[in-house]
Structure 1
Amino acid sequence: MPPKSPLNWGLLPPTFLLPSSTRALLPLTPIRSIKSTNTPRPDRFAYDAKKPPLNSTTASALARKAHSIPLRTGVLALKRGMTALYNPETGKRSACTVLQLDRNEVVAHKTRDKNGYFAVQVGAGQKQAYNVTRPMLGHFATARVSPKRWVVEFKVRGEEGLGVKVGEGIGAGWFREGEWVDVRGVSRGMGFAGGMKRHGFHGQPASHGQSLMHRGMGSAGGSQGSGSRVLPGKRMAGRMGNERVTVKNLRVLQVDEANGIVVVNGCVPGPKGQIIRVQDAINKPWPKGPMKLEKIVSTPITPEVAEAIAAAA
Protein backbone atom coordinates (compact mmCIF):
# COMPACT_ATOMS: atom_id res chain seq x y z
CA MET A 1 0.00 0.00 0.00
CA PRO A 2 1.26 3.52 -0.75
CA PRO A 3 2.22 5.54 2.29
CA LYS A 4 -0.39 7.96 3.58
CA SER A 5 0.41 11.67 3.54
CA PRO A 6 0.95 13.06 7.02
CA LEU A 7 -1.78 15.19 8.49
CA ASN A 8 -0.84 18.85 8.97
CA TRP A 9 -2.56 19.48 12.28
CA GLY A 10 -0.90 22.86 12.78
CA LEU A 11 -2.02 24.45 9.48
CA LEU A 12 -5.31 26.26 8.94
CA PRO A 13 -7.69 25.23 6.19
CA PRO A 14 -8.10 27.48 3.13
CA THR A 15 -9.53 30.91 3.86
CA PHE A 16 -12.65 30.37 1.77
CA LEU A 17 -13.59 27.49 4.11
CA LEU A 18 -13.36 29.62 7.23
CA PRO A 19 -16.35 31.53 8.58
CA SER A 20 -16.51 35.27 8.03
CA SER A 21 -15.87 36.04 11.72
CA THR A 22 -12.61 34.03 11.75
CA ARG A 23 -11.59 35.35 8.34
CA ALA A 24 -11.71 38.94 9.64
CA LEU A 25 -9.13 38.13 12.37
CA LEU A 26 -6.51 36.85 9.92
CA PRO A 27 -3.75 39.26 8.79
CA LEU A 28 -4.08 40.60 5.25
CA THR A 29 -1.51 39.08 2.93
CA PRO A 30 -0.80 40.72 -0.43
CA ILE A 31 -1.85 38.72 -3.47
CA ARG A 32 0.60 38.78 -6.33
CA SER A 33 -0.84 38.84 -9.87
CA ILE A 34 0.11 39.85 -13.39
CA LYS A 35 -0.30 43.57 -14.06
CA SER A 36 -1.77 44.46 -17.43
CA THR A 37 -0.21 47.24 -19.47
CA ASN A 38 -3.52 48.05 -21.24
CA THR A 39 -5.86 50.56 -19.67
CA PRO A 40 -9.19 48.84 -18.97
CA ARG A 41 -12.16 50.21 -20.85
CA PRO A 42 -15.17 51.43 -18.86
CA ASP A 43 -17.45 49.19 -20.92
CA ARG A 44 -16.86 46.47 -23.46
CA PHE A 45 -19.06 48.33 -25.95
CA ALA A 46 -17.09 51.59 -25.60
CA TYR A 47 -14.69 51.30 -28.53
CA ASP A 48 -13.53 54.88 -28.06
CA ALA A 49 -12.29 55.74 -24.57
CA LYS A 50 -13.15 59.43 -25.08
CA LYS A 51 -16.81 58.70 -25.79
CA PRO A 52 -19.36 57.24 -23.40
CA PRO A 53 -20.53 53.68 -24.00
CA LEU A 54 -23.71 53.07 -25.98
CA ASN A 55 -26.87 52.32 -24.07
CA SER A 56 -29.45 49.79 -25.18
CA THR A 57 -32.52 51.58 -23.86
CA THR A 58 -35.27 53.02 -26.05
CA ALA A 59 -34.64 56.53 -24.75
CA SER A 60 -30.96 56.28 -25.70
CA ALA A 61 -31.85 55.07 -29.19
CA LEU A 62 -34.19 58.03 -29.69
CA ALA A 63 -31.54 60.40 -28.36
CA ARG A 64 -29.03 59.14 -30.92
CA LYS A 65 -31.53 59.81 -33.72
CA ALA A 66 -32.59 63.22 -32.43
CA HIS A 67 -30.26 65.10 -34.79
CA SER A 68 -32.12 63.74 -37.84
CA ILE A 69 -35.71 64.17 -36.57
CA PRO A 70 -37.45 67.45 -37.44
CA LEU A 71 -38.74 69.74 -34.75
CA ARG A 72 -42.28 70.04 -36.12
CA THR A 73 -44.72 68.11 -38.25
CA GLY A 74 -44.96 68.06 -42.02
CA VAL A 75 -47.92 68.19 -44.40
CA LEU A 76 -49.40 66.26 -47.31
CA ALA A 77 -49.65 67.94 -50.69
CA LEU A 78 -50.70 67.08 -54.23
CA LYS A 79 -48.33 67.59 -57.12
CA ARG A 80 -50.07 69.86 -59.61
CA GLY A 81 -47.29 70.24 -62.18
CA MET A 82 -44.15 72.19 -63.01
CA THR A 83 -43.60 75.75 -64.10
CA ALA A 84 -40.81 78.34 -64.05
CA LEU A 85 -40.17 81.49 -62.06
CA TYR A 86 -37.81 84.39 -62.78
CA ASN A 87 -35.74 86.06 -60.11
CA PRO A 88 -36.53 89.79 -60.34
CA GLU A 89 -33.04 90.76 -59.15
CA THR A 90 -30.84 88.47 -61.23
CA GLY A 91 -33.26 87.54 -64.01
CA LYS A 92 -32.39 83.87 -63.59
CA ARG A 93 -35.04 81.37 -64.62
CA SER A 94 -35.51 78.39 -62.31
CA ALA A 95 -37.80 75.38 -62.74
CA CYS A 96 -40.20 74.78 -59.87
CA THR A 97 -43.03 72.47 -58.83
CA VAL A 98 -46.46 73.55 -57.64
CA LEU A 99 -47.79 71.67 -54.59
CA GLN A 100 -51.30 72.15 -53.27
CA LEU A 101 -52.45 71.27 -49.74
CA ASP A 102 -55.81 69.52 -49.54
CA ARG A 103 -57.56 69.84 -46.15
CA ASN A 104 -54.67 68.83 -43.90
CA GLU A 105 -55.89 68.17 -40.36
CA VAL A 106 -54.27 66.58 -37.31
CA VAL A 107 -55.91 63.23 -36.56
CA ALA A 108 -53.90 62.00 -33.55
CA HIS A 109 -50.77 62.47 -31.44
CA LYS A 110 -48.22 59.78 -30.64
CA THR A 111 -46.35 60.18 -27.34
CA ARG A 112 -43.32 58.44 -25.91
CA ASP A 113 -45.13 57.25 -22.79
CA LYS A 114 -47.84 55.48 -24.77
CA ASN A 115 -46.28 54.71 -28.17
CA GLY A 116 -42.54 54.96 -27.56
CA TYR A 117 -41.96 58.01 -29.79
CA PHE A 118 -43.37 61.44 -30.60
CA ALA A 119 -45.29 61.84 -33.85
CA VAL A 120 -48.16 63.78 -35.38
CA GLN A 121 -50.71 61.89 -37.46
CA VAL A 122 -51.96 64.06 -40.33
CA GLY A 123 -54.85 63.29 -42.65
CA ALA A 124 -55.55 64.91 -46.00
CA GLY A 125 -58.14 64.74 -48.76
CA GLN A 126 -61.71 63.58 -48.46
CA LYS A 127 -63.40 60.21 -48.58
CA GLN A 128 -67.00 59.11 -48.49
CA ALA A 129 -68.11 57.58 -45.21
CA TYR A 130 -69.44 54.42 -46.88
CA ASN A 131 -65.94 53.70 -48.24
CA VAL A 132 -64.28 53.90 -44.81
CA THR A 133 -64.08 51.02 -42.34
CA ARG A 134 -65.81 51.32 -38.99
CA PRO A 135 -62.56 51.41 -36.95
CA MET A 136 -61.30 54.32 -39.05
CA LEU A 137 -64.66 56.08 -38.80
CA GLY A 138 -64.37 55.89 -35.03
CA HIS A 139 -60.79 57.13 -35.24
CA PHE A 140 -61.85 60.18 -37.26
CA ALA A 141 -64.88 60.78 -35.03
CA THR A 142 -62.64 60.87 -31.94
CA ALA A 143 -60.55 63.61 -33.56
CA ARG A 144 -63.72 65.36 -34.84
CA VAL A 145 -62.47 65.52 -38.42
CA SER A 146 -64.04 64.36 -41.67
CA PRO A 147 -62.92 61.01 -43.16
CA LYS A 148 -59.55 61.43 -44.86
CA ARG A 149 -58.21 59.75 -47.97
CA TRP A 150 -54.57 59.74 -46.82
CA VAL A 151 -53.31 59.36 -43.24
CA VAL A 152 -49.57 59.71 -42.56
CA GLU A 153 -47.41 60.04 -39.45
CA PHE A 154 -44.66 62.65 -39.17
CA LYS A 155 -42.09 62.02 -36.44
CA VAL A 156 -41.08 64.97 -34.29
CA ARG A 157 -38.15 65.30 -31.92
CA GLY A 158 -39.91 66.09 -28.67
CA GLU A 159 -43.14 67.04 -27.01
CA GLU A 160 -42.84 70.62 -28.25
CA GLY A 161 -43.48 69.27 -31.77
CA LEU A 162 -47.04 68.41 -30.71
CA GLY A 163 -47.99 72.09 -30.67
CA VAL A 164 -50.69 71.59 -33.31
CA LYS A 165 -53.71 70.21 -31.49
CA VAL A 166 -55.85 67.32 -32.64
CA GLY A 167 -58.56 68.50 -35.03
CA GLU A 168 -56.75 71.66 -36.17
CA GLY A 169 -56.07 72.28 -39.85
CA ILE A 170 -52.65 73.10 -41.31
CA GLY A 171 -52.46 75.42 -44.29
CA ALA A 172 -49.78 76.65 -46.65
CA GLY A 173 -48.75 79.31 -44.12
CA TRP A 174 -46.99 76.54 -42.18
CA PHE A 175 -44.03 77.21 -44.50
CA ARG A 176 -42.35 80.49 -45.39
CA GLU A 177 -40.48 81.68 -48.43
CA GLY A 178 -36.79 80.84 -48.32
CA GLU A 179 -37.11 77.73 -46.12
CA TRP A 180 -35.70 74.34 -47.08
CA VAL A 181 -37.87 71.23 -47.23
CA ASP A 182 -37.53 67.53 -48.03
CA VAL A 183 -40.19 65.88 -50.19
CA ARG A 184 -41.05 62.18 -50.41
CA GLY A 185 -43.25 60.41 -52.90
CA VAL A 186 -43.65 57.39 -55.14
CA SER A 187 -41.86 57.79 -58.46
CA ARG A 188 -43.54 57.35 -61.81
CA GLY A 189 -43.63 53.73 -62.98
CA MET A 190 -41.75 53.04 -66.23
CA GLY A 191 -42.64 49.38 -66.61
CA PHE A 192 -40.05 46.83 -67.75
CA ALA A 193 -36.84 48.58 -68.84
CA GLY A 194 -33.44 47.43 -70.05
CA GLY A 195 -30.09 47.94 -68.42
CA MET A 196 -29.22 51.08 -70.38
CA LYS A 197 -32.41 52.93 -69.42
CA ARG A 198 -32.71 51.56 -65.90
CA HIS A 199 -29.10 51.83 -64.72
CA GLY A 200 -27.42 54.05 -67.30
CA PHE A 201 -25.21 51.38 -68.90
CA HIS A 202 -23.21 52.48 -71.96
CA GLY A 203 -24.09 49.38 -73.96
CA GLN A 204 -21.87 47.35 -76.29
CA PRO A 205 -19.58 49.01 -78.86
CA ALA A 206 -21.31 49.85 -82.15
CA SER A 207 -18.37 48.74 -84.30
CA HIS A 208 -17.33 45.75 -86.42
CA GLY A 209 -18.08 42.40 -84.93
CA GLN A 210 -21.13 43.39 -82.89
CA SER A 211 -24.33 41.78 -84.10
CA LEU A 212 -27.66 42.80 -82.55
CA MET A 213 -26.16 43.35 -79.10
CA HIS A 214 -25.67 47.11 -79.10
CA ARG A 215 -28.02 47.72 -76.15
CA GLY A 216 -27.24 44.48 -74.32
CA MET A 217 -25.92 44.54 -70.75
CA GLY A 218 -23.14 42.01 -71.41
CA SER A 219 -21.95 39.34 -69.02
CA ALA A 220 -24.05 38.79 -65.90
CA GLY A 221 -21.68 36.58 -63.88
CA GLY A 222 -18.36 34.76 -63.86
CA SER A 223 -17.81 31.07 -64.49
CA GLN A 224 -15.67 30.06 -61.49
CA GLY A 225 -14.95 33.28 -59.60
CA SER A 226 -18.55 33.72 -58.45
CA GLY A 227 -19.49 30.07 -58.31
CA SER A 228 -21.07 29.83 -61.76
CA ARG A 229 -24.01 31.94 -60.74
CA VAL A 230 -25.37 35.49 -60.80
CA LEU A 231 -24.62 37.28 -57.53
CA PRO A 232 -27.58 38.76 -55.63
CA GLY A 233 -28.12 42.46 -56.27
CA LYS A 234 -26.75 42.38 -59.82
CA ARG A 235 -28.00 45.36 -61.83
CA MET A 236 -30.03 43.88 -64.64
CA ALA A 237 -33.12 44.64 -66.69
CA GLY A 238 -36.39 44.77 -64.75
CA ARG A 239 -39.21 46.94 -63.54
CA MET A 240 -38.20 50.59 -63.33
CA GLY A 241 -39.72 53.23 -61.09
CA ASN A 242 -42.76 52.95 -58.81
CA GLU A 243 -40.64 53.18 -55.66
CA ARG A 244 -40.32 55.60 -52.80
CA VAL A 245 -38.01 58.50 -53.61
CA THR A 246 -36.79 61.31 -51.34
CA VAL A 247 -35.59 64.63 -52.76
CA LYS A 248 -33.73 66.74 -50.22
CA ASN A 249 -33.01 70.44 -49.84
CA LEU A 250 -35.69 72.09 -51.99
CA ARG A 251 -36.17 75.80 -51.37
CA VAL A 252 -39.65 77.25 -50.93
CA LEU A 253 -40.07 79.98 -53.54
CA GLN A 254 -43.66 81.10 -53.05
CA VAL A 255 -46.49 80.51 -50.58
CA ASP A 256 -50.14 81.20 -51.36
CA GLU A 257 -52.06 80.64 -48.14
CA ALA A 258 -55.44 81.54 -49.64
CA ASN A 259 -55.27 78.79 -52.25
CA GLY A 260 -53.11 76.38 -50.22
CA ILE A 261 -50.25 76.41 -52.74
CA VAL A 262 -46.55 75.97 -51.98
CA VAL A 263 -44.06 76.39 -54.83
CA VAL A 264 -40.70 74.63 -54.36
CA ASN A 265 -37.59 74.85 -56.48
CA GLY A 266 -36.67 71.77 -58.53
CA CYS A 267 -38.47 68.54 -59.36
CA VAL A 268 -40.64 66.32 -57.19
CA PRO A 269 -41.06 62.55 -57.67
CA GLY A 270 -44.26 61.15 -59.09
CA PRO A 271 -46.79 62.11 -61.78
CA LYS A 272 -49.36 64.88 -61.55
CA GLY A 273 -51.83 64.21 -58.77
CA GLN A 274 -49.33 62.21 -56.71
CA ILE A 275 -49.51 62.64 -52.94
CA ILE A 276 -46.28 64.14 -51.56
CA ARG A 277 -44.93 64.37 -48.01
CA VAL A 278 -43.39 67.77 -47.28
CA GLN A 279 -41.33 68.33 -44.12
CA ASP A 280 -38.47 70.53 -42.94
CA ALA A 281 -35.08 69.57 -44.39
CA ILE A 282 -32.83 67.63 -42.02
CA ASN A 283 -29.58 68.70 -43.71
CA LYS A 284 -30.26 72.42 -43.32
CA PRO A 285 -30.60 74.64 -40.26
CA TRP A 286 -34.02 74.28 -38.68
CA PRO A 287 -36.33 77.10 -39.79
CA LYS A 288 -37.66 79.69 -37.42
CA GLY A 289 -41.17 78.78 -38.46
CA PRO A 290 -44.17 78.53 -36.16
CA MET A 291 -44.59 75.55 -33.86
CA LYS A 292 -48.27 76.36 -33.27
CA LEU A 293 -51.02 77.65 -35.50
CA GLU A 294 -51.48 80.72 -33.32
CA LYS A 295 -48.02 81.96 -34.33
CA ILE A 296 -48.73 81.94 -38.07
CA VAL A 297 -48.66 85.45 -39.46
CA SER A 298 -51.01 85.62 -42.42
CA THR A 299 -49.97 87.81 -45.33
CA PRO A 300 -52.72 90.27 -46.29
CA ILE A 301 -53.97 90.07 -49.87
CA THR A 302 -53.74 93.29 -51.83
CA PRO A 303 -56.71 94.46 -53.94
CA GLU A 304 -54.79 93.76 -57.15
CA VAL A 305 -54.14 90.16 -56.13
CA ALA A 306 -57.77 89.74 -55.07
CA GLU A 307 -58.98 90.96 -58.45
CA ALA A 308 -56.60 88.55 -60.21
CA ILE A 309 -57.87 85.64 -58.12
CA ALA A 310 -61.49 86.58 -58.82
CA ALA A 311 -60.79 86.83 -62.55
CA ALA A 312 -59.08 83.45 -62.60
CA ALA A 313 -62.01 81.85 -60.74
Structure 2
Amino acid sequence: MVGLIGKNIGMTSIFLENGENVPCTIVKVGPCYIVQIKTIENDGYFSIQLGIDNQKIKKTNKSLFNHFKKAGLSPKKKLLEFKTNKVSDFILGSSINIDLFKEGELVNVKGVSKGKGFQGVVKRHNFSGVGEKTHGQHNRLRAPGSIGAGSDPSRVFKGKKMAGRMGKKSVTIKNLKILKINPDYNIIILKGAVPGNKNSYLMIQKKEWN
Protein backbone atom coordinates (compact mmCIF):
# COMPACT_ATOMS: atom_id res chain seq x y z
CA MET A 1 0.00 0.00 0.00
CA VAL A 2 1.61 3.27 -1.17
CA GLY A 3 0.77 6.81 -0.20
CA LEU A 4 2.22 10.11 0.92
CA ILE A 5 3.01 11.99 4.10
CA GLY A 6 0.75 14.92 4.87
CA LYS A 7 0.39 17.65 7.46
CA ASN A 8 -2.91 18.40 9.17
CA ILE A 9 -3.78 22.05 8.47
CA GLY A 10 -7.18 22.12 10.16
CA MET A 11 -10.89 21.53 9.68
CA THR A 12 -13.57 23.42 7.78
CA SER A 13 -16.78 22.60 5.93
CA ILE A 14 -17.73 22.80 2.26
CA PHE A 15 -20.93 22.53 0.25
CA LEU A 16 -21.30 19.60 -2.13
CA GLU A 17 -23.07 19.82 -5.50
CA ASN A 18 -26.31 18.57 -3.93
CA GLY A 19 -26.24 21.41 -1.40
CA GLU A 20 -25.13 19.26 1.54
CA ASN A 21 -22.70 20.91 3.94
CA VAL A 22 -20.09 18.38 5.11
CA PRO A 23 -17.21 18.70 7.62
CA CYS A 24 -13.80 18.12 6.12
CA THR A 25 -10.10 18.30 6.89
CA ILE A 26 -7.49 20.25 4.92
CA VAL A 27 -4.22 18.35 4.55
CA LYS A 28 -1.02 19.58 2.90
CA VAL A 29 0.49 16.58 1.13
CA GLY A 30 4.08 16.25 -0.10
CA PRO A 31 6.17 16.63 -2.03
CA CYS A 32 7.72 13.52 -0.48
CA TYR A 33 11.17 12.16 -1.30
CA ILE A 34 12.24 8.52 -1.45
CA VAL A 35 14.94 8.21 1.21
CA GLN A 36 15.30 4.41 1.18
CA ILE A 37 14.03 1.42 -0.79
CA LYS A 38 13.83 -1.73 1.31
CA THR A 39 13.95 -5.21 -0.24
CA ILE A 40 13.67 -8.75 1.05
CA GLU A 41 17.36 -9.40 0.29
CA ASN A 42 18.61 -6.50 2.43
CA ASP A 43 15.83 -5.87 4.96
CA GLY A 44 13.53 -8.89 4.96
CA TYR A 45 10.52 -7.10 3.45
CA PHE A 46 9.52 -4.68 0.70
CA SER A 47 8.79 -1.02 1.46
CA ILE A 48 9.76 2.51 0.59
CA GLN A 49 10.79 5.14 3.14
CA LEU A 50 9.56 8.66 2.44
CA GLY A 51 10.72 11.95 3.94
CA ILE A 52 9.06 15.37 4.04
CA ASP A 53 10.01 18.94 5.04
CA ASN A 54 13.64 20.04 5.16
CA GLN A 55 15.51 19.89 8.46
CA LYS A 56 18.51 22.00 9.47
CA ILE A 57 21.78 20.10 9.27
CA LYS A 58 22.77 21.15 12.80
CA LYS A 59 19.62 19.43 14.11
CA THR A 60 20.48 16.13 12.37
CA ASN A 61 22.88 13.62 13.91
CA LYS A 62 25.69 12.12 11.86
CA SER A 63 24.10 8.72 11.22
CA LEU A 64 20.87 10.26 9.93
CA PHE A 65 22.80 12.78 7.84
CA ASN A 66 24.68 9.96 6.10
CA HIS A 67 21.38 8.11 5.64
CA PHE A 68 19.99 11.06 3.66
CA LYS A 69 23.32 11.55 1.88
CA LYS A 70 23.10 8.05 0.37
CA ALA A 71 19.89 9.09 -1.35
CA GLY A 72 21.36 12.44 -2.43
CA LEU A 73 18.87 14.35 -0.28
CA SER A 74 19.02 17.04 2.36
CA PRO A 75 17.89 16.04 5.90
CA LYS A 76 14.12 15.69 6.36
CA LYS A 77 11.97 16.30 9.44
CA LYS A 78 9.66 13.29 9.16
CA LEU A 79 10.29 9.76 7.89
CA LEU A 80 7.58 7.13 7.32
CA GLU A 81 7.50 3.75 5.63
CA PHE A 82 4.95 2.49 3.13
CA LYS A 83 4.84 -1.23 2.43
CA THR A 84 4.54 -2.20 -1.22
CA ASN A 85 5.66 -5.07 -3.43
CA LYS A 86 6.25 -2.73 -6.36
CA VAL A 87 9.54 -1.22 -5.16
CA SER A 88 10.97 -1.53 -8.68
CA ASP A 89 8.64 1.28 -9.76
CA PHE A 90 10.47 3.81 -7.56
CA ILE A 91 13.83 5.55 -7.86
CA LEU A 92 15.95 6.42 -4.83
CA GLY A 93 16.08 10.18 -4.21
CA SER A 94 13.15 10.99 -6.51
CA SER A 95 10.02 12.82 -5.40
CA ILE A 96 6.38 11.72 -5.26
CA ASN A 97 3.78 14.44 -5.62
CA ILE A 98 0.09 14.92 -4.99
CA ASP A 99 -0.58 13.55 -8.49
CA LEU A 100 -0.65 10.13 -6.82
CA PHE A 101 -4.21 10.86 -5.63
CA LYS A 102 -7.42 11.53 -7.50
CA GLU A 103 -10.61 13.27 -6.47
CA GLY A 104 -13.31 10.89 -5.31
CA GLU A 105 -11.07 7.99 -4.29
CA LEU A 106 -10.93 6.52 -0.78
CA VAL A 107 -7.81 6.61 1.39
CA ASN A 108 -6.74 5.40 4.82
CA VAL A 109 -5.29 8.06 7.13
CA LYS A 110 -3.01 7.09 10.01
CA GLY A 111 -1.78 9.45 12.73
CA VAL A 112 -1.21 9.91 16.46
CA SER A 113 -4.35 10.96 18.32
CA LYS A 114 -4.48 13.94 20.66
CA GLY A 115 -3.17 13.29 24.16
CA LYS A 116 -5.81 13.82 26.86
CA GLY A 117 -3.59 13.18 29.88
CA PHE A 118 -4.76 11.19 32.91
CA GLN A 119 -8.54 10.81 32.74
CA GLY A 120 -11.22 9.11 34.82
CA VAL A 121 -13.48 6.26 33.76
CA VAL A 122 -16.38 8.53 32.72
CA LYS A 123 -14.35 10.30 30.04
CA ARG A 124 -12.00 7.43 29.18
CA HIS A 125 -14.51 4.56 28.95
CA ASN A 126 -17.90 6.32 28.87
CA PHE A 127 -18.93 5.07 32.32
CA SER A 128 -22.07 6.60 33.84
CA GLY A 129 -20.77 6.98 37.37
CA VAL A 130 -22.26 5.40 40.50
CA GLY A 131 -25.40 7.49 40.85
CA GLU A 132 -27.06 10.67 42.05
CA LYS A 133 -26.38 12.72 45.15
CA THR A 134 -28.61 10.62 47.40
CA HIS A 135 -28.06 8.77 50.67
CA GLY A 136 -24.88 10.69 51.37
CA GLN A 137 -23.19 9.94 48.02
CA HIS A 138 -21.85 13.44 47.57
CA ASN A 139 -18.64 12.37 45.82
CA ARG A 140 -19.75 9.33 43.80
CA LEU A 141 -21.01 10.99 40.59
CA ARG A 142 -17.99 10.10 38.45
CA ALA A 143 -16.59 7.20 40.47
CA PRO A 144 -15.90 3.79 38.86
CA GLY A 145 -17.71 1.81 41.56
CA SER A 146 -16.79 -1.77 42.43
CA ILE A 147 -13.83 -3.14 40.45
CA GLY A 148 -13.70 -6.79 41.49
CA ALA A 149 -15.37 -9.75 43.13
CA GLY A 150 -15.16 -10.81 46.79
CA SER A 151 -13.27 -13.75 48.22
CA ASP A 152 -13.37 -15.51 44.88
CA PRO A 153 -11.25 -14.72 42.86
CA SER A 154 -9.86 -12.26 45.44
CA ARG A 155 -8.22 -10.13 42.80
CA VAL A 156 -8.88 -7.71 39.97
CA PHE A 157 -8.59 -9.20 36.49
CA LYS A 158 -6.03 -7.76 34.09
CA GLY A 159 -7.45 -5.37 31.52
CA LYS A 160 -10.09 -3.92 33.83
CA LYS A 161 -11.34 -0.59 32.51
CA MET A 162 -10.07 2.02 34.96
CA ALA A 163 -8.72 5.55 35.03
CA GLY A 164 -5.46 6.18 33.19
CA ARG A 165 -3.71 8.00 30.40
CA MET A 166 -5.94 8.66 27.42
CA GLY A 167 -5.04 9.36 23.79
CA LYS A 168 -1.58 9.75 22.21
CA LYS A 169 -1.99 6.47 20.33
CA SER A 170 -1.62 5.44 16.72
CA VAL A 171 -5.04 5.59 15.06
CA THR A 172 -6.09 4.69 11.51
CA ILE A 173 -9.25 6.13 9.96
CA LYS A 174 -10.33 4.06 6.96
CA ASN A 175 -12.21 4.98 3.79
CA LEU A 176 -11.99 8.78 3.91
CA LYS A 177 -13.10 10.30 0.63
CA ILE A 178 -10.98 12.89 -1.18
CA LEU A 179 -13.40 15.70 -1.98
CA LYS A 180 -11.05 18.15 -3.68
CA ILE A 181 -7.40 18.43 -4.73
CA ASN A 182 -5.47 21.67 -5.26
CA PRO A 183 -2.18 20.74 -6.97
CA ASP A 184 -0.93 24.35 -6.94
CA TYR A 185 -0.68 24.34 -3.13
CA ASN A 186 -0.34 20.56 -2.59
CA ILE A 187 -3.66 20.56 -0.72
CA ILE A 188 -6.23 17.79 -0.48
CA ILE A 189 -9.59 18.06 1.27
CA LEU A 190 -10.77 14.91 3.05
CA LYS A 191 -14.34 14.27 4.11
CA GLY A 192 -14.51 13.93 7.90
CA ALA A 193 -11.91 14.16 10.67
CA VAL A 194 -8.39 12.77 11.00
CA PRO A 195 -6.40 11.88 14.14
CA GLY A 196 -3.93 14.32 15.69
CA ASN A 197 -3.40 17.99 16.38
CA LYS A 198 -2.95 20.75 13.85
CA ASN A 199 0.43 20.59 12.06
CA SER A 200 0.81 16.92 13.01
CA TYR A 201 2.03 14.51 10.35
CA LEU A 202 -0.27 11.95 8.76
CA MET A 203 0.25 8.80 6.70
CA ILE A 204 -2.20 8.91 3.78
CA GLN A 205 -2.42 5.52 2.07
CA LYS A 206 -3.99 4.60 -1.24
CA LYS A 207 -6.34 1.63 -1.03
CA GLU A 208 -5.95 0.18 -4.50
CA TRP A 209 -2.17 -0.43 -4.27
CA ASN A 210 -1.03 -3.79 -2.82
Identity of aligned residues (%): 35
Alignment pair present for 1:221 and 2:148: yes
Greater Rg over alpha carbons, structure: 1
State the Cα deviation string for residues 157-189 of structure 1 (Å, max 9, x = none).
Answer: x2x344121111122111100111111111111
Alignment pair present for 1:168 and 2:168: no
Gaps of 5+ in 1: 1-69, 292-313
Q: How many residues are treated as equivalent by the alignment?
A: 209
Alpha-carbon shift at residue 114 of structure 1 (Å): 2.0
1:10-159 correspondence runs (5 A): 70=1, 73-88=2-17, 90-156=18-84, 158=85
Alignment pair present for 1:256 and 2:185: no
Alpha-carbon shift at residue 102 of structure 1 (Å): 4.3
Alignment pair present for 1:272 and 2:201: no
In structure 1, distance between residues paired with 2:197 and 2:53: 17
**TM-score, normalised via structure 2 length:** 0.94
Q: Give every structure 1 segment of 4 or more consecutive aligned residues whose post-TM-superposition deviation is greater than 4 Å.
A: none
In structure 2, distance between residues paired with 1:102 and 1:237: 39
| SS across alignment from 1:141 | helix
The farther-off stretch of 240-249 and 203-212 is 203-212
| SS across alignment from 1:220 | coil
Q: Which residue of 1 aligns with 2:120?
A: 194
CA RMSD, 1 decimal:
1.6
Q: Which residue of 1 aligns with 2:162?
A: 236
| SS across alignment from 1:130 | helix
Gaps of 5+ in 2: none
Q: Which has the higher strand share?
A: 2
Q: Which has the higher helix share?
A: 1
Q: Which residue of 2 aligns with 1:180?
A: 106
Asked whether the equivalents of residues 77 and 102 of structure 1 are also in contact (C-alpha less than 8 Å), the reply is yes
Larger RCO (CA within 8 A; separation ≥ 6):
2
**TM-score, normalised via structure 1 length:** 0.64
In structure 2, distance between residues paired with 1:161 and 1:254: 28
Change over 3 Å in CA distance of 1:217–1:143 after alignment to 2: same
In structure 1, distance between residues paired with 2:97 and 2:73: 15
Alpha-carbon shift at residue 112 of structure 1 (Å): 1.6
